[in-house]
């Protein structure tokens, strides 16, 4: 969740937002927007519109570290699956309680 302050009066999805109003943006919700994604609750990185996600935000405040984060993920995940080709989820994960960087605190896997 990101909080921004409206620098001018505007309207978002039919809701008037006065100048100076704090607006909480829930990017995790945007990534499950049924108006953007078909079957939005299914995790599918191969979907044709996968690049429409807002996990790194968008516009002026787009994440400066996005390229580094993508590179780290590419290298890390490739190595993980090369070393453990049979790796699979083996139980219920425990979600982090934060709404900012959402994800799992733990996820049991079998190697
Ligand atoms: C998977 C990893 C990451 C995710 C999901 C992520 C996500 C985000 C998001 C959503 C924002 C926008 C926040 C806002 O609108 O206020 C942001 C901004 C930012 N991120 Fe990341 N980030 C990641 C990794 C990184 C890394 C590795 C770096 C630096 C090495 C980094 C540096 C920044 C900076 C400096 C901003 C502020 C940009 C601005 O406000 O102009 N991030 N990030």
Domain ranges of the chain: 2-63
- Segment 4-63, tens digit of pLDDT: 899 999 998 899 999 999 998 888 788 889 999 999 999 898 999 999 999 898 898 899
CA distances from 59 to 10, 54, 80, 81 (A): 17, 10, 33, 33
Render pLDDT for 57-100 as a digit per residue (tens, 0 to 9): 889 889 999 999 999 999 999 999 999 999 999 999 999 988 77
The H-assigned helical ranges of 1-111 are 27-30, 66-83
DSSP helix/strand/coil, 23? strand
pLDDT of 103 strictly over 90: no
Residue 58 has which token pair?
Answer: 């968008």
- With a 6 Å cutoff on the Cβ, whether 64 touches ligand 1 is yes
Predicted pLDDT at 19: 96
Return the residue matching tokens 């079957």. Answer: 39
Question: How remote is the CA of residue 64 from the centroid of ligand 1, in Å?
Answer: 6
């Amino acid at each position: 969740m990101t909080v921004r302050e409206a620098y001018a009066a505007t309207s978002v999805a039919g809701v008037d937002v006065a100048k100076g109003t704090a607006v909480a943006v829930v990017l995790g919700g945007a990534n499950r927007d049924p108006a953007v994604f078909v079957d939005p609750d299914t995790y599918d990185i191969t979907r044709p519109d996968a690049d429409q996600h807002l996990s790194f935000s968008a516009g002026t405040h787009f994440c400066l570290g996005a390229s580094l984060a993508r590179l780290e993920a590419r290298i890390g995940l490739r190595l993980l699956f090369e070393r453990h080709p049979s790796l699979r989820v083996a139980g219920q994960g425990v979600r982090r309680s934060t709404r900012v960087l959402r994800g799992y605190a733990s996820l049991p896997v079998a190697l």
